Structure 1
Amino acid sequence: MFSRWLKQYMPRSLYARAALILVLPVVVLLLVVGVAFLQKHLEDVTAQMTETATREVTLVLETIQKAETRQQVLAATRPDLTTLELKARFVDASQDPETGRRRWYDFIAPQVESHLRAGLPDLVAVALPSGDEARLYLETDLGLLQLTIDRRRLSPTAPHQLIVTMVFFAVVMTSISFLYMRNQLRPITRLSEAAQAFGRGRVVSYTPGGAIEVRAAGSAFLEMRARIERQMEQRTMMLSGVSHDLRTPLTRLKLGLSMLPEDEAAPLKQDVDEMQLLLDAFLDFSRGVAEGPAEAIEPAVLLRQIVEDARRAGHQAELVSVEGDGTAMLRPMAMRRAVENLIGNAVRYGNRAEVSLSLTPKTTRIRVEDDGPGIPVEQRTEAVKPFSRLDPARNQNQGSGVGLGLAIVADIARAHGGVLRLGKSERLGGLCADIIVGR
């Protein structure tokens, strides 16, 4: 329970967590040493020194009580004041004692004043200014007496020096540690950026560096990236090769069917056309996202072109809203194919398609909605798998295909480091398909 509560307040980045691990022990050490020093050393020494000064002042007060005039007081106390290194004079009681302003770092002054007041009942005020002298104002029968004493006799000299020294060197060493830690974390940051870029479909230059463990992770990432690229290339070459090789016998079949009577060739032509559609779908799936690298484009401009092309093709499509502006890193041809597939599905299983765009500082969302029958919740995971056909619910109209439309869209979204999400359109009642990628 406590760890779960603490987790929400912990920093998320590795640099911040490492900084916390580095700074927290230093701060705790400073606090422990500082408190121990104040309590065990400064307080005890200050109490002893203040008690000694209190006895000296009490001796002077006893001498004053035997005198009848101020002149007699000064004459009688002169030997004691010289021996004790004190200065005495009477001041006007009608004016407030001049206590002055304490030094902001003189944290031992309150304890000095507390001990003096406890040992001297006649003490009116204590002045502990920024100089080297302390002034005590005492009430006597002959008026207000001011005693001046060396401040070094009341408390240790510069009690703040130890704490200041500790804080100074702690800041210096912590700063040096931060610089070293930053250099150690930089290879991890570079590895993270390279992995994130590859997840979004971009290949950036990366060379392993840093500690042995980080170098090993970097080398493993490069090997994994190379294997994935080889597998994608092999998949593309295999499907492209198969599709290309099958086009030749299909062409011969079409040529042979053209020589047959129409009534005999019609069913066979339908089979050939279906095979042609299957090959075209294979080619689209094999190409995937292989058409050029990602580049900074304006998604709003791309969607307007796609919707306009769909209208010219006779589809009822409309770009209903655009929220936000700016550019995003996308593969234009791949993203065009994804949106065109969604629009094609929308008008195939419904009557209209509505496209919308939402740009935030972190994400780009392209939404396509239709008024068709939609896809049930339990079948949405199956719908994005290759060669998956949701008969008969999704194909109750003129729908036909080989089950690669949504699979291609999902593949393109993943290649951009994003995801394809399927839901129900609240506005049209049919399918709502969202392509969400990072910016």
Structure 2
Amino acid sequence: MSALWLKHYMPRSLYVRAALILVLPVVVVLLVVGIAFLQKHLEDVTAQMTRAASREVTLVTDVMEETETQQQALAAVRPDLQALDMKARFLAINEEPAIGRRRWYDFIAPQVEADLRALLPDLTAVALPSGQEARLYLQTDIGVLQLTFDRRRLSPVAPHQLIVTMVFFAVVMTTISFLYMRNQLRPITRLAEAAQAFGRGRVVPYSPGGAIEVRAAGSAFLDMRARIERQMEQRTMMLSGVSHDLRTPLTRLKLGLSMLPEEEAAPLQQDVDEMQLLLDAFLEFSRGAVEGASETVNPKVLLELIVKDARRAGYEAELISVEGEGKAMLRPTAIRRAVENLIGNAVRYGSRADVSLSITPKSLRIRVEDDGPGIPPEQRAEAVKPFSRLDPARNQNQGSGVGLGLAIVSDIARAHGGVVRLGKSESLGGLCADIIIGR
């Protein structure tokens, strides 16, 4: 439970998570090694070198204390300066110490200056502008003395090179690891794309690749996809065959009933008509989600055509709003059947159907609202099941079906990787049916 809060800050992508797992150890190793080296090794070596340099500077200043003028002082320390490989001069009266700018990566310079100030009480300024030269400014009785000597006598040569080398090779190795990781994750990404496309009713070419485990998962997905396609095809063929076989005896029954007196044939004719209606609805349900191939369509244009056809059929339907724009991969025939079913239900149990469309970068929503009695919340889950008839919750005087209208819509939505959500219309007060499909 204590680690659950961390989930909100963790990346969701497998690629980013793998990259994080790869980069974090490298960064931690660099920090640990770098800090440990700087604090334990460089600091100790630098302290020893600055201590030795400060002794040499103290030797020069002690010799100068016995002189009275700057010229005498420089002459007195000339042998020592030659031996110590130093240069010395006194600043003019109005001359300021030339400090200069340090290099941004010279992280050891602050420690050098701090150690020198602690060891040399008369030190007024330290100039460490480059890796080749160091200038110390000391206050003496006869003026400000400038001592110049090699910077390498105060600290190790180019201490930043170790860090630069570590970072460089860390970047190189991390880049190589990223390339290798991308090649390993690419088959997983392809498998996810193929599974997502199949869940939305599209079949994209896919061949297993990658590591043994990924290949096994890919092969299992192909077997599963083939079985599902085979089952869907068999279901459609079976229902189509049953429908075709039943149409012949129904036709003979209608022909026989036409020869009977009207009073005797009327009840039987009603039963035959109901059987015909049930057969047609069952066949429509069997082919509703699989009819047609997926293609890139403009949902707005498709809905405009559906609403126009519904108005020509005498339905009170209208496309009231369209939010967003763009295209989506859909099965136009199946979507048309789903929207037509919703419009048909709306005008059957109400008087009008308001259709709206909302398109976002991630999804599209087709909404159909009516002014009928609606469906109670506790019965909405049951309403989308096949052969579920909720006539007590609807207006039976407007007609009834066989309980497959919303089931067909739900099946088509699932075939597109989406869902159907039922609710109450805020504007009309009746049923609000949403078809939500991911893009």
Instruction: Give the alignment's TM-score, normalised by structure 1.
Output: 0.98
Structure 2 counterparts to residues 341-380 of structure 1, below 5 A: 341-380=341-380
CA distance in 2, matches of 1:285, 1:116: 90
- Partner of 1:12 in structure 2? 12
1:119 partner amino acid: L
Q: Is structure 2 residue 378 aligned with structure 1 residue 383? A: no
CA distance in 2, matches of 1:93, 1:378: 96
Q: Is structure 2 residue 154 aligned with structure 1 residue 154? A: yes
Percent identity, aligned pairs only, is: 82
Question: Cα deviations across residues 55-96 of structure 1 (Å, max 9, x unaligned)?
Answer: 111111111111112222122112211221111111113221
Q: Is structure 2 residue 325 aligned with structure 1 residue 325? A: yes
CA distance in 2, matches of 1:368, 1:15: 40
CA distance in 1, matches of 2:275, 2:343: 23
Cα contact 2:342–2:405 (8 A) shared by 1:
yes
- Partner of 1:34 in structure 2? 34
Measured on the aligned residues, the alpha-carbon RMSD in Å equals: 1.0
Cα contact 1:373–1:394 (8 A) shared by 2:
yes
Q: Is structure 2 residue 428 aligned with structure 1 residue 434? A: no
Cα contact 2:53–2:153 (8 A) shared by 1:
yes
- Structure 1 residue 121 displacement after superposition: 1.0
- Partner of 1:281 in structure 2? 281
- Partner of 2:335 in structure 1? 335
For 1:135, what is the secondary structure of its paired residue? strand
1:409 partner amino acid: V
2:54 partner amino acid: T
CA distance in 2, matches of 1:287, 1:102: 78
Question: Cα deviations across residues 117-171 of structure 1 (Å, max 9, x unaligned)?
Answer: 1111111111111251111111111111111111111000000111010000000
1:167 partner amino acid: V
1:76 partner amino acid: A
- Structure 1 residue 303 displacement after superposition: 1.1
- Structure 1 residue 3 displacement after superposition: 1.7
Instruction: Tell me which moved more, 62-71 or 217-226.
Output: 62-71
For 2:20, what is the secondary structure of its paired residue? helix
Instruction: Tell me which moved more, 393-402 or 47-56.
Output: 393-402
2:431 partner amino acid: L
Cα contact 1:289–1:415 (8 A) shared by 2:
yes
- Partner of 1:393 in structure 2? 393
Cα contact 1:370–1:430 (8 A) shared by 2:
yes
For 1:357, what is the secondary structure of its paired residue? strand
CA distance in 2, matches of 1:100, 1:301: 71
CA distance in 2, matches of 1:117, 1:154: 13
- Structure 1 residue 386 displacement after superposition: 0.5
Cα contact 2:376–2:393 (8 A) shared by 1:
no
- Structure 1 residue 395 displacement after superposition: 4.2
- Partner of 1:188 in structure 2? 188
Question: Cα deviations across residues 189-224 of structure 1 (Å, max 9, x unaligned)?
Answer: 000000000000000110000000000000110111
For 2:228, what is the secondary structure of its paired residue? helix
CA distance in 2, matches of 1:180, 1:336: 46
2:200 partner amino acid: R
- Partner of 2:110 in structure 1? 110
1:394 partner amino acid: R
Cα contact 2:355–2:366 (8 A) shared by 1:
yes
1:139 partner amino acid: Q
Cα contact 2:416–2:437 (8 A) shared by 1:
yes
2:3 partner amino acid: S
Cα contact 1:324–1:358 (8 A) shared by 2:
yes
- Partner of 2:143 in structure 1? 143
Question: Cα deviations across residues 241-276 of structure 1 (Å, max 9, x unaligned)?
Answer: 111111001101111111111122111111111111
Structure 2 counterparts to residues 77-88 of structure 1, below 5 A: 77-88=77-88
CA distance in 2, matches of 1:77, 1:311: 110
Aligned residues: 439
CA distance in 2, matches of 1:316, 1:358: 21
Cα contact 1:240–1:282 (8 A) shared by 2:
no
- Structure 1 residue 343 displacement after superposition: 0.5
Cα contact 2:391–2:400 (8 A) shared by 1:
no
- Partner of 1:165 in structure 2? 165
Cα contact 2:289–2:408 (8 A) shared by 1:
no
- Partner of 1:124 in structure 2? 124
For 1:89, what is the secondary structure of its paired residue? strand
Question: Cα deviations across residues 356-393 of structure 1 (Å, max 9, x unaligned)?
Answer: 11111111110000111111111111111101111322
Cα contact 1:257–1:269 (8 A) shared by 2:
yes
- Partner of 1:213 in structure 2? 213
2:304 partner amino acid: R
Structure 1 ranges of 4+ moved more than 3 A: none
CA distance in 2, matches of 1:130, 1:50: 17
CA distance in 2, matches of 1:190, 1:261: 67
- Structure 1 residue 115 displacement after superposition: 0.7
- Partner of 2:410 in structure 1? 410
Cα contact 2:131–2:152 (8 A) shared by 1:
no
CA distance in 2, matches of 1:40, 1:131: 22
Q: Is structure 2 residue 212 aligned with structure 1 residue 179? A: no
1:327 partner amino acid: K
Cα contact 1:342–1:368 (8 A) shared by 2:
yes
CA distance in 2, matches of 1:32, 1:2: 27
Cα contact 2:323–2:359 (8 A) shared by 1:
yes
CA distance in 1, matches of 2:405, 2:390: 12
Question: Cα deviations across residues 4-40 of structure 1 (Å, max 9, x unaligned)?
Answer: 2211111110000000000000000000000001001
2:174 partner amino acid: T
